[in-house]
Amino acid sequence: MAQRLVDRALTVADVLEERIFPAHVPLPPRWGRYYRGEVATRGVVNRARRTAKHAV
């Protein structure tokens, strides 16, 4: 993975403008199910569905 270093601290806006959100870039339906955690994985013992507790 390429590393890009900056000469200043990044702001929240700096980070969020570079992040690719599924709402901005459409995912194929199958990938969307994986992204949202809707696919049960046999190898995972604890399949508890998590919800964001601290999301804004």
**pLDDT tens, residue by residue, 1-52:** 556 788 888 888 887 777 677 777 788 899 888 888 888 777 766 666 667 6
pLDDT of residue 56 exceeding 70: no
The structural domains of the chain, with segments of one domain joined by +, span 10-41
Cα distance between residue 28 and residue 5, in whole Å: 32
Could you give the maximum distance between any two Cα atoms of the chain, in Å?
45
* The pLDDT of residue 38: 85
Residue 14 CB coordination number (10 Å)? 11
* The pLDDT of residue 36: 81
Record the pTM.
Answer: 0.41
From start to end of the chain, where are the E strands? Answer: none
**22: CB partners within 8 A, 6+ apart:** 32, 35
* The pLDDT of residue 55: 63
